[in-house]
Chain A
Amino acid sequence: MKKNLYLLTVGVALTSGFVLFTDQAFAQDAATGVSADVKFILNSFLFLVTGFLVMWMAAGFAMLEAGMVRTKNVSMQCTKNIALFAIAGIVYWAVGYNVMYDGVDGGFIGTILPKSIPAPSSDTGDYAAASDWFFQMVFCATAASIVSGTLAERVKLWPFLIFVAILCGFLYPIQGAWKWGAGWLDGLGFLDFAGSTIVHSCGGWAALTGAIILGARKGKYGPNGQVFPMPGSNMPLATLGTFILWLGWFGFNGGSQLALGSIADASSVSRIFMNTNLAAAAGVISAMILNQLLYGKVDLTMALNGALAGLVAITAEPLTPAPIMAIIIGGIGGLIVVLTVPVLDKLRIDDVVGAIPVHLLAGIWGTIAVPITNSDGNFITQLIGIGSIGIFMIISTSILWLVLKFTIGLRPTEEDESDGLDKAEIGLEAYPEFGQGSQRI
């Protein structure tokens, strides 16, 4: 009897030990799936590939803006876009990255030091340090691109580039640190997956204060509230730019999963691709239908803006929505654009490419919408995040624009603006074979 009991005990112990072992094995399988090395490789690969997709968005912004400005300002717009990407690339190394990510610790700002990269043999963690830097840098450049579109055709090159340097080196990283750098907003539970607020609204606020302080393009608004549209020079370029941005957005949102080392991560990235595409498609369709109903025709530029608004709206939470919710969230983004572009004109805020409705307003909408599909979020915290970043960006960018305005000046002379900034500041027409003749009548 005693022996039997002994055997039974051993048997149970062995069996339970076996069960424990296999369970553990299963648990390990589910948690890691691949070795730490492979995980490191896959995560770094995700950062690099999605990072260069986001880098390509800089080309999208450049083409969209080149198409939406008049012929006489196209070279200038292209110059601003290549220059701002270069400036972002350097200042985000020199200060931006560490201001955003190094030692924020629940606070408001990291350290003001260049980003250092470990030797390949001592690169540890979940991903290569430089792959993370690269991925974060291209997001910073995106925020700067938003500003250039709104202020097109009437801001001087160098003052604008000084603004971009400070935006990329300090303003964007500081508010980014509050959430993505594990700062105080992150502690509160604010959610912004890929940056509806942190990237898009951030750039949108800077564009809004800039547009107000700079004023409208000469001749855009009449004395009695009339609006005189200034149609863009090249709709094929604007369309190409939008397609490039749409493509780049798969990197923007998909890469923000930040990991590819498990089946769950690969599935999440794929789900994000699908939701991102659904939201963009819904933004186009809703903008087209609303435009047809309101004005009796479809406006291509509104359809293009609708795609981008759908993309911005889904950016705050591209993972948790079911497909139908991604369509609704993106579709509302498209409606926001068609409804708010004329409101800005009523307020005499001249936004050349529609970046304020697309990036600021659809960004706010997307951020508010997070708790609808993600039970970890709540509306109050989302509003605190939107509001605090909004206040910070409004105050800081207003001061910066005003300092530039009253020191080196922001606007070209009236004559230079009328001649076009291509001629006045760049000395190179974008389409010399057509020249000014195409603008006269």
Chain B
Amino acid sequence: MKVITAIIKPFKLDDVREALTGIGIQGLTVTEVKGYGRQKGHTEIYRGAEYAVNFLPKVKIEVVIPSDLTDKTVQAIAGAAKTGQIGDGKIFVGPVEQTVRIRTGETDIQALE
């Protein structure tokens, strides 16, 4: 099993969700986050004074999938979240040791289906 963590632009969330349901992913977790990457924030003007916004709002999605779906999932997210502009975000893939569905006690792949 793998966990896919993607940081995306907030307005792309719906597109990404649709892309993931399109390839049969059953569930995902979404968090509103702030941070920066190469974009390094930007400047704003409030009442005539310029100030730096160091942390930009992003959406973090986390989805745990069977390992064989990894490439398909990464491609679905990357395809849906891409605008080509700076600040599109990143996708991280990591291992997951165990999954338990709390209601039934099912584990691992069974718990994901």
Listed in ascending order, the chain A residues whose CB lies under 8 Å from chain B are 227-229, 231, 294-297, 299, 301-302, 338, 341-342, 345, 354, 441
Give Cα distance in the complex from A231 to B51, angstroms. Answer: 11
Selected A-B contacts with CB under 8 Å, 17 pairs: A227-B50, A228-B49, A228-B51, A229-B47, A229-B49, A229-B51, A231-B46, A297-B45, A299-B47, A299-B48, A341-B47, A341-B48, A342-B47, A342-B48, A342-B49, A345-B47, A345-B49
Distance from B34 Cβ to chain A, minimum over Cβ atoms (Å): 5
Indicate the member of B45, B49, B51, B55 with the most A CB atoms within 10 Å.
Answer: B49
Pick the 4 closest A-B CB pairs, nearest first.
Answer: A342-B48, A229-B46, A227-B49, A295-B45
List, in ascending order, chain A residues with CB within 8 A of B55's CB.
441
Listed in ascending order, the chain B residues whose CB lies under 8 Å from chain A are 34, 44-51, 55
Query: Which residue of chain A has its CB nearest to the CB of B35?
Result: A441
Instruction: Give me 11 other A-B pairs in contact (C-beta within 8 A), A229-B51, A301-B46 excluded.
Output: A294-B48, A295-B48, A301-B47, A302-B48, A342-B47, A342-B48, A342-B49, A345-B48, A345-B49, A354-B47, A441-B34
Distance from B102 Cβ to chain A, minimum over Cβ atoms (Å): 27
Give Cα distance in the complex from A269 to B90, angstroms. Answer: 64
Interface pair B48/A338, CB less than 8 Å apart:
yes
Distance from A381 Cβ to chain B, minimum over Cβ atoms (Å): 34
Q: Is the interface of B mostly helix, strand, loop or mixed?
A: strand
Query: Which residue of chain B has its CB nearest to the CB of A295?
Result: B45
Distance from B33 Cβ to chain A, minimum over Cβ atoms (Å): 9
Interface pair B49/A299, CB less than 8 Å apart:
no
Give Cα distance in the complex from A294 to B48, angstroms. Answer: 9
Report if A299-B46 is in contact (Cβ < 8 Å); known contacts: A228-B51, A441-B55. Answer: yes
List, in ascending order, chain A residues with CB within 8 A of B45's CB.
295-297, 299
Give Cα distance in the complex from A338 to B48, angstroms. Answer: 8
Give Cα distance in the complex from A266 to B69, angstroms. Answer: 80
List, in ascending order, chain A residues with CB within 8 A of B49's CB.
227-229, 342, 345
Give Cα distance in the complex from A45 to B46, angstroms. Answer: 43
List, in ascending order, chain A residues with CB within 8 A of B44's CB.
229
List, in ascending order, chain A residues with CB within 8 A of B34's CB.
441
List, in ascending order, chain B residues with CB within 8 A of A299's CB.
45-48
List, in ascending order, chain B residues with CB within 8 A of A302's CB.
47-48
List, in ascending order, chain B residues with CB within 8 A of A341's CB.
47-48
Distance from A299 Cβ to chain B, minimum over Cβ atoms (Å): 6
Query: Which residue of chain A has its CB nearest to the CB of B57?
Result: A441
Distance from A193 Cβ to chain B, minimum over Cβ atoms (Å): 30
Query: Which residue of chain A has its CB nearest to the CB of B47?
Result: A341
Give Cα distance in the complex from A296 to B66, angstroms. Answer: 50
Give Cα distance in the complex from A345 to B50, angstroms. Answer: 12
Give Cα distance in the complex from A302 to B45, angstroms. Answer: 11
Distance from A362 Cβ to chain B, minimum over Cβ atoms (Å): 16
Give Cα distance in the complex from A46 to B46, angstroms. Answer: 40
Give Cα distance in the complex from A301 to B44, angstroms. Answer: 14
Query: Which residue of chain A has its CB nearest to the CB of B49?
Result: A227
Distance from B3 Cβ to chain A, minimum over Cβ atoms (Å): 24
Give Cα distance in the complex from A441 to B34, angstroms. Answer: 8
List, in ascending order, chain B residues with CB within 8 A of A342's CB.
47-49
List, in ascending order, chain B residues with CB within 8 A of A338's CB.
48
Give Cα distance in the complex from A299 to B45, angstroms. Answer: 8
List, in ascending order, chain A residues with CB within 8 A of B46's CB.
229, 231, 299, 301
Give Cα distance in the complex from A354 to B46, angstroms. Answer: 12
Give Cα distance in the complex from A354 to B47, angstroms. Answer: 9
Distance from B44 Cβ to chain A, minimum over Cβ atoms (Å): 8
Query: Which residue of chain B has its CB nearest to the CB of A354?
Result: B47
Indicate the member of A294, A295, A297, A354 with the most B CB atoms within 10 Å.
Answer: A295
Give Cα distance in the complex from A301 to B46, angstroms. Answer: 8
Give Cα distance in the complex from A229 to B53, angstroms. Answer: 11
List, in ascending order, chain B residues with CB within 8 A of A295's CB.
45, 48
Give Cα distance in the complex from A342 to B46, angstroms. Answer: 10
List, in ascending order, chain A residues with CB within 8 A of B51's CB.
227-229
Query: Which residue of chain A has its CB nearest to the CB of B54?
Result: A441
Give Cα distance in the complex from A165 to B2, angstroms. Answer: 68
List, in ascending order, chain B residues with CB within 8 A of A228's CB.
49, 51
Distance from B23 Cβ to chain A, minimum over Cβ atoms (Å): 33
